A = this chain, B = another copy of it.
């Protein structure tokens, strides 16, 4: 039997699910979607305009999202998108699929791994640069956490909270590693 052809998504384009997920919560423009992704989501997923706008167009053709209204009141056109029934179904199907790919690319770790070619001070500096970034991000995550704790009863917010907790837990682990690694680099 053939695979259903209506509302079928691109095989490996996860940006579709991100957009669908955001639209399941509220109607948004492409520009708004970009802003949401750049918020707390950016710690575990990224997206650019160059992927968001084409994805929205294609998903509209597939009937996964609908244009709500093209507000042309005054300024530039503004296209608000709304998720459709089949869009929600696609999102649910993805949520129910156990398999998930967690793809990590730490250039910092690569530089640590291959650092033996240079002096220890180089690896040490690369770790310190990483540490600095992590500390900044951790502050931001703690700020998100405090804000979310005030509105935990609202729809979906417990889920957002969990991802922030994930960020904090891993970023604290990063910092512990930085300290260990610096110590080992200095002592050993």
- Across-interface contacts of A118 in B (CB, < 8 A): 92, 95-96
A80 adjacent to chain B (CB < 8 Å): no
Are the C-beta atoms of A44 and B105 separated by less than 8 Å? yes
The verdict on A111 contacting B100 (CB below 8 Å), with A116-B159, A158-B188, A177-B165 known, is yes
Chain B, Cβ-Cβ closest to A175: B169
Are the C-beta atoms of A102 and B102 separated by less than 8 Å? no
Stretch at the interface among A13-21, A26-34, A55-63: A13-21
Query: From residue 91 to 146 of chain A, which have CB atoms closer than 8 A to chain B?
Result: 91-92, 94-96, 98-118, 122-123, 125-126, 129-130
A147 adjacent to chain B (CB < 8 Å): no
Are the C-beta atoms of A114 and B45 separated by less than 8 Å? no
Q: Chain A interface secondary structure, helix, strand, loop or mixed?
A: helix
Are the C-beta atoms of B107 and A95 separated by less than 8 Å? no
Are the C-beta atoms of B169 and A177 separated by less than 8 Å? yes
What does the 1/0 interface line of A1-45 toward B look like (CB < 8 Å)? 000000000000010011001001100000000000000010111
- Across-interface contacts of A24 in B (CB, < 8 A): 114, 116-117
Assembled-state Cα–Cα distance A95/B184 (Å): 19
- Across-interface contacts of A115 in B (CB, < 8 A): 95, 159
Are the C-beta atoms of B110 and A46 separated by less than 8 Å? no
Assembled-state Cα–Cα distance A130/B106 (Å): 20
The verdict on A112 contacting B162 (CB below 8 Å), with A43-B104, A104-B43 known, is yes
Are the C-beta atoms of B184 and A113 separated by less than 8 Å? no
Assembled-state Cα–Cα distance A99/B108 (Å): 9
- Across-interface contacts of A161 in B (CB, < 8 A): 184
